[in-house]
Structure 1
Amino acid sequence: MKELKVSDKAGKIRRASDDVVREALADLAHGGRTTHRIGGHTDWYHGAAVSPDGSRLITANRDGTARLWDIASGQCLMVFRGHTSEVVRAAFMNHTDRAVTTDDDGTLRLWDCATGACILVLKGHHGRVAGLAVSPDDRYIASSDSFWALRVWSLPEGTCEHSAAGINNVTRILVTRDGNTMLTLDSQHDILRWDFPGLGDPSLVASGDYWDIALAGDGEFVAAGRDGLSCFDVRIGSRKRLYSLEPHKPYKVTTASDETRFVACCSPGETVLVVDSRTGAIEKQFTGPRFVTDMILSPDGKTLYTAGFDRTCNMWDIGTGECLQAIGSTRSVHHLSLSGNGVYLAACDKGDTVKLWNLTDGSQRGKFPGATSVAFLESARLVVTGHDDGRVRFWEIDSGKERPGAVLQAYSSAVACVLPLESGAFFATFARHGVPKLWNTEKRNCLKIHSRAGNIDIDTTAIDEDTQRVALRRQGKNHILVCDLRSGDILATLTDHAHKYGNLSVIITGIRFLPRGRGLVSCGRDGLIILWDLSTFKAARSIHVGNSILSMAVENDGRHVVIGTHTGGVERWDLESGQREICRPPEGSPVAGLALSPDESRLFVSFSDGTVRIIDRESTALICSLWNVDDGFFWFTPPDEHAPDGWVWTDREDLLHLVEEGSEGKVLGAVPLSDERRRAYIMTRNNAAIVQARLKGLDEYARVARRYTRALADEQNRVEVHPRPMLPGET
């Protein structure tokens, strides 16, 4: 019988203990199982809400998802997917295990918090739905959009029962605890009172510089404004008290459920004040987060939750001012580059950090902060990175050194792009506010500066294989400049892409020269792939793909291109016939970057959810995925017959969220961080050997995985025949 072995986070292999085997096998028992969630938000937070019992938190993020969190452990219980744009607001229902979220696309969605299923989609708004409230009895949802409309929806049908139009853009909605009155705050900083749910003629409660409102109990509400915190009578609309907090200017406010305290986020200095609601005395003051978009107190009034543009959702102890926990966000990768031998992958993310990965063993070989672009200089065995400080830095690929081998001051502004020439013997740099430059790699000197092109604010660039011509797209412009690389002369201006597409003014997202002089190809958010004839500089062929294109890679045959779409699809197009092949169906998360391995057997795709996925070209099977965590590494595989939840390999076990599910797949709760089941799960699923085998190929993975699962079955038989003796005190 083969011995079952597991690998630790350092990749060291050792024999699994009987306890680990028992706990791992318990997941296979009928009636429930332990599974995991991975990933996190990738952008700033628009809103947050706490469940009525104070045990869970829901976050609304610009990345198009909402997430359900277990507050005690900080683990993600559920990811709500289905919105097509930014998720703006979130709220829990008061008496059912459901939540509602709003979107930039004008929809609301009602979710089952046990299964993650979308129960209802409420349509009728136009533009961003920024206002949201649930009635105390859960019978109604009130919402508002950026096109000056209010709507009241009845549940469970989701029918729009009442609406009002022609009002100012409402940014905050409150429904009083008796369910008879609704208060709104609009973009003109006016507060209106409405009958609810009927939406009769509203009455003006207060007009002026008010930025936020919250219910305060005893028929009152509190407003944060230029003068401080104002307490109003809901029924008659008169201001009863004003608490000046000078020099602080509150712009967000929330209240404790016992109605004894207000908590206000103020500027300047992003100060958080805890204020006695009866006297206005400041009980506590501490420095909070920057750029708060939403804030709420826990039901017991002891914990403050803030969401913000700083890409974090923080939990604060009101008594001490200590930040108890921060739910951060990862960064999506917008540019991928592969070394000529296919061994190394360089990924540049939206946080201006480049990371270098060895694809044979999955190890991270370098991390370069402040880098805005990257290229491999094959002949010199170097990686060159362009930085936001205008410098170009050289790194030895195999050294693993934390300091660059050389540094050049190329520009006074950020380097936008670095492109290798002639296998890396030379390279070109382009600046966001500067002129194109050509460099000698070995001598590290600038050969030529193309001043004729001027400071052209480069955003997207390509150079032909003969290093004769360069194609450029200016930042914020929707035409392509084709220039002579050696003289700097502008040869042509290509203008067939749309000047505007919906609300988007920047259209062109990719430019590539085809090999052997076959032409130039461009793509854009207007859904067009255009093949340009370089002898006439006219469009030889236009293909409309029916979806916004965000990224593109060109195959070696010069006939096929691979594109990534806004809806998360990956497609291969024949430029001659116009035929399409689906490489990956749309998954909802936009494709931010694409790259082909040198032998074109693998496709590397970066998504806006912060992952990079490696796809087998022939079978279109997903081989492995890399999660772009800020520190450490995190690889994971798709579910299959060997592992229903897939395998992971990471040194960030804190980012592996373990969830207990019932027999019907309903989430029962998070597995506590100190629970033995968590230790057992991680010991068996965090497996370096299996993930590394999958990186080598699907056949190698199948061989290793079969051997591992057979060993697990053998261990199951051994444990059942020789159970662990019961220890004294156990029952």
Structure 2
Amino acid sequence: MKEREEFRLLQQPARKQALIAVRQFETETRLACAPKRRIRPIVTALPRVMAHRLAFSPDGKWLMVSCSLKVFLLAVQTRTCVQVLVHPNAYINTAALSPNGSYIATGEPRGLVTLWDSHTGENLWQSKGHDGGGIKKLAFTSDNSKVVSITLSKHSEIGIWDLQTGQLQQMVRAGVRDFVISPDGKTAIISEGLFISVLDLESGRILREFHCDLPIQSLALSSDGHTVVGLDDKRNEKFLILDLSSGHSRWVDTGIHHEFFALHPGGEMLVATESDYDNRYYARTKTCFWDLRTGSRMEGFENGLGFPAAFSPDGNLLAAMNGDALVFGELLGDSSVGVWRRDPVWQYQRKPVLSLNGRWLVTEGTDNGINLWDLQTGHVRPALVGKLPKADRVAISHDGDTVAATGWKTPVEVWNAASERLLHSWQPENPSFIQPLAFHPNGRVIAYADEGKVISREVGTGEVLQVLDTDGYVSRSLVFSADSRSLVSEGYGYIYWWDVDWGRCMLRPKQLRDYCEFDDHKLGKITVQLVNPVDLTCLVAEWHTEGKNHEFVHQVHLLDLKSGRYLQHFKEHTSEISCLSADPMWTSFVSVDKDGRLWKWDLGTGTCVAQFMELPKLGYGDEITFLQVSPDGKRLIACNLGGILNFWDYQSGEFLATAYNLSDGYLWTTPTDEFAPNGWLHTDRPDLVSLLETDKADGEKPEYILQGDKRFDDYLRIYNDGEMVMTRLNDWNRYQQLLQIRLGNQTAMDDHLLSTGAMEQLFLPMPGGVDDKNASN
């Protein structure tokens, strides 16, 4: 008895000491996790893009890639994108990178010039000075004090802008086709008609003029500012080489039609497109190199390059677009040899969602394959790469074991997803139509449309079970009811309701618009419809015009297809409705329009009960093409044309996460929370994440932190946490628990450790002869 009392007295300070040790460990962990400076991540996963301008910074460290609605900044050394500037409301005609790399200017078709901070992505100013026509070209002066622009209008004016204020200082010289800025930034070399002129940017006066035999459409200048090269504007077959110092000029006649060209900094070599030309049409075929000293074509790699293209300032690298991929060519040896090595660096294509069965999400993958997403872990597994036909429709069984795919003029193929073994291939009677597919809930039967009928087959044997006649109407959608008793097909407004067991049509087909021929509700142009296969109620989205001003009205109607009754209408959208999805019990549904607004509706009352967070505009590909409430009714998933997936909690409307459909790997992000001020990451592609340190000392520009930097590794070690992302997506209560632990909720932590006996087990070795029951008292 005495020994036990002594042990109890010894145990009290030990327990206190254990609590202090645990708290100290938590404190040190939190301090280690908290960045000393504010660091903001930038997701640089990129969609397919068609670039129209490339430009290196003068130090060769950065490459600007300008596309229709975005501008990307790449670190040349690491071949990674570090910044994405988005211009959501206007098309970008052209862009320019400042000599110091701190600014990017963009020009729009409306004549607007916008200046951006290339580090922070901030829009510094936007100004309009040109009366007519869009901006054709932009350039900075070497001292970073001015932006020079030229318009696409018939006047083709040159505008000179003050970089600090955004004010248009002067407008000079109409009829200019192209211009380049001299290395000292004091003059511009311009082409106008049959003349190449040297323009003083301060006074607007012409300093020198050079006569040309042919008009010049585009110009380039060597890095020393002595040699100007121009492409003729008649047949695009001749290059003018002009020495500005002596005024001597000569022509190089290639005899081949060229559309674009880029000049090597030394002025002795260029790369240009080579096109077939038949007086009316041309077809861009390949890229060629020309030695301007001899006027001869150079041998080198000519395939895999396209335009736009740009040489690095030292002339050792050539960046060019090959379709939607960016490639670098490296010069090996003397430039006269013209031997280049290709280095593809940028091809992160993203594609839309194809199917969802609950846990598994199917998206388009690489080389006609698919990506299988496990929504419990967030991991993505490429499957059937190079094996599927060009798939426009894909369905996955509920157990995730079987995948069916078809496309335009391709057979219906059924594959085992795990072994990637082809099970069946059926050629439809009319392959010119894209056939809808649907798996029975038990996964053992598949249905697909073929011309004017619906065919169901057993997945295991391929045996035809039923052929359902749709009176010649081609079905555009198929859906099984959750209870497996009925199948609904829709085509060109005709709805068919089938008994799965007997193969009988339980509803005489009738066009959708025939259900609504009332004075108050007449269907206009139907954009999308959604049918409940259990009770045959139907949601129809349509638009029509009203009143003398023909104002557009966009709304959703609820119809009872059995009785032909009109039940309800839903009216809030201001643009065309593109997708609908209902919860599994059909008590509510969600709709999205082409402006990206998502509304949740109560099917019983017809009222709008919530509006989900509107997604930021990212340019081309923003339109949502896939919208679905998960089979358990917990999540709402939306995917746009660019392959960006967004997840919400369907009941609360809480925005949960974003995922990117990549060619290789996975990337998830979440919104901010108490512990992660910029949200959590979950990725195996750190090359698609850039970090920006934003709280630099006064006068210092924010700093990009690239992969390989210890700060980069530290940040990803803390915030690249798949558990925090996926529990937020799948188990909100567990996510809150993890968050509380990370925030260092002492009471919760202490109670948890004490309740499990972890402290005694970790810190208090039990003396021999003392039983557990007494030791815990």
Aligned to 2:591: 563
Cα pair 2:378 2:722 within 8 Å, conserved: no
Cα pair 2:187 2:198 within 8 Å, conserved: no
Q: Which amino acid aligns with 1:440?
A: R
Say if 1:130 and 1:34 are closer, same or farther in 2 by CA, change over 3 A.
closer
What whole-Å deviation, never above 9, does each CA across 1:29-50 have from its counterpart, x for those lacking one?
25x6474544224433232222
Say if 1:146 and 1:408 are closer, same or farther in 2 by CA, change over 3 A.
farther
Q: What runs of 5+ residues in structure 1 fail to find an aligned partner?
A: 5-15, 473-479, 497-506, 715-731
Listed as ranges, the matches of 1:550-629 within 5 Å are 550-556=578-584, 558=586, 560-573=588-601, 577=606, 579=608, 581-589=610-618, 590=622, 591-629=624-662
Instruction: State the secondary structure of the residue aligned to 1:361.
Output: coil
Aligned to 2:345: 326
Listed as ranges, the matches of 1:13-412 within 5 Å are 25=32, 28-30=35-37, 33=39, 35=41, 37-62=43-68, 64-94=69-99, 97-103=102-108, 107-123=112-128, 129=134, 131-136=136-141, 138-145=145-152, 152=159, 154-155=161-162, 156-159=164-167, 174=180, 178-183=186-191, 213-216=219-222, 217-218=225-226, 220-223=228-231, 228-231=237-240, 240-245=249-254, 249-267=257-275, 271-289=286-304, 292-308=306-322, 310-319=323-332, 320-333=339-352, 335-339=353-357, 342-348=358-364, 353-365=369-381, 367-369=383-385, 370-378=390-398, 382-387=402-407, 390-396=410-416, 400-410=418-428
Superposition deviation, residue 113 in structure 1 = 1.4
Which structure exhibits the higher relative contact order, with contacts defined as CA atoms closer than 8 Å and separated by 6 or more residues? 1
Superposition deviation, residue 97 in structure 1 = 1.6
What whole-Å deviation, never above 9, does each CA across 1:431-488 have from its counterpart, x for those lacking one?
8xx666433244535654869647x7x8x6466968676444xxxxxxx532557899
Instruction: State the secondary structure of the residue aligned to 2:725.
Output: helix
Instruction: State the secondary structure of the residue aligned to 1:231.
Output: strand
Cα pair 1:373 1:415 within 8 Å, conserved: no
Instruction: Please give the alpha-carbon distance, in whole angstroms, between the structure 2 residues aligned to 1:683 and 1:542.
Output: 47
Q: Which amino acid aligns with 2:228?
A: E
Say if 1:154 and 1:462 are closer, same or farther in 2 by CA, change over 3 A.
farther
Instruction: Please give the alpha-carbon distance, in whole angstroms, between the structure 2 residues aligned to 1:494 and 1:108.
Output: 49
Instruction: Please give the alpha-carbon distance, in whole angstroms, between the structure 1 residues aligned to 2:595 and 2:210.
Output: 43
Q: Which amino acid aligns with 2:684?
A: D
Listed as ranges, the matches of 1:438-587 within 5 Å are 438-442=455-459, 444-445=462-463, 447-448=466-467, 453=472, 461=477, 470-472=489-491, 480-482=492-494, 484=496, 491-492=510-511, 510-514=528-532, 516-522=535-541, 528-531=554-557, 533=559, 541=569, 543=571, 545-556=573-584, 558=586, 560-573=588-601, 577=606, 579=608, 581-587=610-616
Range that drifts further, 109-118 or 383-392: 383-392
Instruction: Please give the alpha-carbon distance, in whole angstroms, between the structure 2 residues aligned to 1:26 and 1:540.
Output: 53
Q: Which amino acid aligns with 2:89?
A: T
Superposition deviation, residue 118 in structure 1 = 0.6
Q: Which amino acid aligns with 1:583?
A: F
Say if 1:219 and 1:543 are closer, same or farther in 2 by CA, change over 3 A.
same
Instruction: Please give the alpha-carbon distance, in whole angstroms, between the structure 2 residues aligned to 1:37 and 1:286.
Output: 33
Cα pair 1:211 1:224 within 8 Å, conserved: yes
Instruction: Please give the alpha-carbon distance, in whole angstroms, between the structure 2 residues aligned to 1:250 and 1:710.
Output: 66
Say if 1:554 and 1:241 are closer, same or farther in 2 by CA, change over 3 A.
farther
Superposition deviation, residue 98 in structure 1 = 0.8
Instruction: Please give the alpha-carbon distance, in whole angstroms, between the structure 2 residues aligned to 1:123 and 1:420.
Output: 54
Give the structure-2-normalised TM-score: 0.70
Aligned to 1:689: 723
Range that drifts further, 668-677 or 92-101: 668-677
| Larger-Rg structure | 2
Superposition deviation, residue 675 in structure 1 = 3.5
Confirm whether residue 656 of structure 1 aligns to residue 689 of structure 2.
Answer: yes
Say if 1:180 and 1:636 are closer, same or farther in 2 by CA, change over 3 A.
closer
Instruction: Please give the alpha-carbon distance, in whole angstroms, between the structure 1 residues aligned to 2:600 and 2:175.
Output: 47
Say if 1:135 and 1:66 are closer, same or farther in 2 by CA, change over 3 A.
closer
Say if 1:577 and 1:159 are closer, same or farther in 2 by CA, change over 3 A.
farther
RMSD: 4.9
Give the structure-1-normalised TM-score: 0.74
Name the count of aligned residue pairs: 657
Superposition deviation, residue 255 in structure 1 = 1.6
Q: Which amino acid aligns with 2:312?
A: S
Instruction: Please give the alpha-carbon distance, in whole angstroms, between the structure 2 residues aligned to 1:65 and 1:204.
Output: 39
Percentage of identical aligned residues: 18
Instruction: Please give the alpha-carbon distance, in whole angstroms, between the structure 2 residues aligned to 1:130 and 1:495.
Output: 51
Cα pair 2:81 2:688 within 8 Å, conserved: no
Aligned to 1:637: 670
Superposition deviation, residue 583 in structure 1 = 0.7
Aligned to 1:702: 736
Superposition deviation, residue 261 in structure 1 = 2.7
